[in-house]
């Protein structure tokens, strides 16, 4: 069982709001702030992280997550090392296959081989100052130390890859304990294959949260987040992702209609509307991925995740009253997990 920890996934819709959210999250007991990297819809990642790092004293700061397409590994390695200089010992580097950052540039997500090569390149630049990238020698002459690298993972193969190569994993399979246990087992299998100590891998899971007495309204407010899950978690293949066959066509319809330019947009966005036409899928996604309700209910949902083996809870909760949600999670939910 992991020790319960809260992290905040920050979408920098403005620099000021991102810094304010990071500062509040630290004040109410969060231990991590991850900043999204999606240049076409949000503010610039590294500038935002630098300001969040400067405004805080304790929380860990890193991309949640960047990608291997839009940033050369030497650029990314230098960027996160700079954040670590601002906040010594608090920086981490989160990476995934890519979503709105690359789709808004008409690029394709990274393959598993791409991710492995990129992670190895960033780590080598931090530890050796030099590596080979796509047949060419590249350098980073000043970075002082290795930084923890976290891999975002949903499918079985990516979870196992994370266990092989990553210092931490941001799991996004849902909150049902059986799914959590299966994901942990996949990570541990990859670690064993690589001869690593599985217990040394820091595990976090994505949580779509909303603390409210009105459950229906709370789910409605984050339905664009649920559409994002259908779009991202189940892409490439449904194999091994524990999806009821009856919902497969509905998932494909959402994926086909998903608009990256409106990724995680608040209010009645086109992506939120996709689930209005798919009530069965909407109910399923809410049950699988979301913790919505009064604080004791949210805490009980998250406690089951912790008991299933993942202690790090990386909360999204992209709601209009963002600071009220952060405060509720820190003051009324985290205390129930301790």
Instruction: Report the pLDDT averaged over residues 110-124.
Output: 98
CA–CA distances in Å: residue 163 to residues 7, 96, 196: 21, 14, 8
Is pTM, for the whole model, over 0.75? yes
Domain locations along the chain: 5-337
Residues 49-63 pLDDT 10s: 999 999 999 999 999
Indicate the class that CATH gives domain 5-337: alpha beta
How high does pLDDT run on average in the chain?
97
Instruction: Report the pLDDT averaged over residues 208-216.
Output: 98
Residue 15 has pLDDT above 80, yes or no: yes
* Chain center to CA of 96: 9
- The model's confidence at residue 2, banded by pLDDT at 50, 70 and 90, is low
Q: At CA 57, angle to CA 56 and CA 59, rounded to 5? A: 80
Residue 1 has pLDDT above 60, yes or no: no
Burial class (CB in 10 A: 0-12, 13-18, 19+), 149: buried
């Amino acid at each position: 069982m992991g020790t319960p920890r809260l992290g905040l996934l920050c979408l920098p819709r403005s620099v000021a709001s991102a810094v304010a959210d990071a500062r509040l999250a630290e004040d109410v007991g969060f231990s991590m702030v991850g900043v999204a990297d999606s240049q076409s819809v949000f503010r610039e990642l590294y500038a935002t992280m630098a300001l969040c790092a400067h405004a805080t004293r304790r929380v860990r700061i890193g991309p949640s997550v960047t990608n291997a397409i839009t940033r050369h590994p030497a650029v990314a390695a230098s960027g996160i090392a700079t954040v670590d200089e601002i906040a010594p010992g608090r920086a981490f580097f989160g990476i995934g296959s890519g979503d709105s950052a690359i789709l808004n540039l008409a690029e394709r997500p990274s393959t598993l081989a791409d991710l492995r090569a990129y992670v190895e390149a960033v780590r080598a630049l931090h530890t050796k100052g030099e590596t080979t990238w796509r047949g060419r020698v590249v350098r980073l002459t000043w970075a002082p130390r290795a930084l923890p690298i976290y891999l975002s993972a949903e499918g079985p193969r990516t979870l196992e890859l994370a266990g092989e190569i990553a210092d931490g994993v941001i799991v996004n399979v849902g909150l049902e304990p059986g799914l959590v246990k299966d994901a942990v087992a996949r990570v541990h299998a990859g670690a064993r294959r690589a001869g690593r100590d599985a217990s040394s891998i820091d595990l976090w899971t994505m949580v779509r949260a909303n603390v409210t007495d009105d459950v229906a309204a709370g789910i409605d407010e984050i339905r664009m987040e649920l559409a994002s899950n259908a779009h991202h978690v189940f892409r490439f293949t449904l194999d091994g992702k524990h999806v009821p066959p009856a919902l497969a066509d509905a998932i494909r319809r959402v994926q086909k209609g998903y608009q990256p330019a409106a990724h995680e947009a608040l209010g009645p966005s086109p992506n939120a509307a996709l689930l209005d036409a798919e009530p069965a899928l909407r109910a399923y996604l809410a049950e699988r991925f979301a913790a919505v309700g009064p604080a004791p209910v949210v805490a009980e949902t998250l406690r089951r995740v912790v008991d299933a083996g993942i202690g790090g809870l990386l909360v999204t909760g992209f709601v209009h009253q963002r600071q009220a949600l952060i405060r509720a999670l820190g003051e009324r939910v985290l205390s129930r997990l301790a």
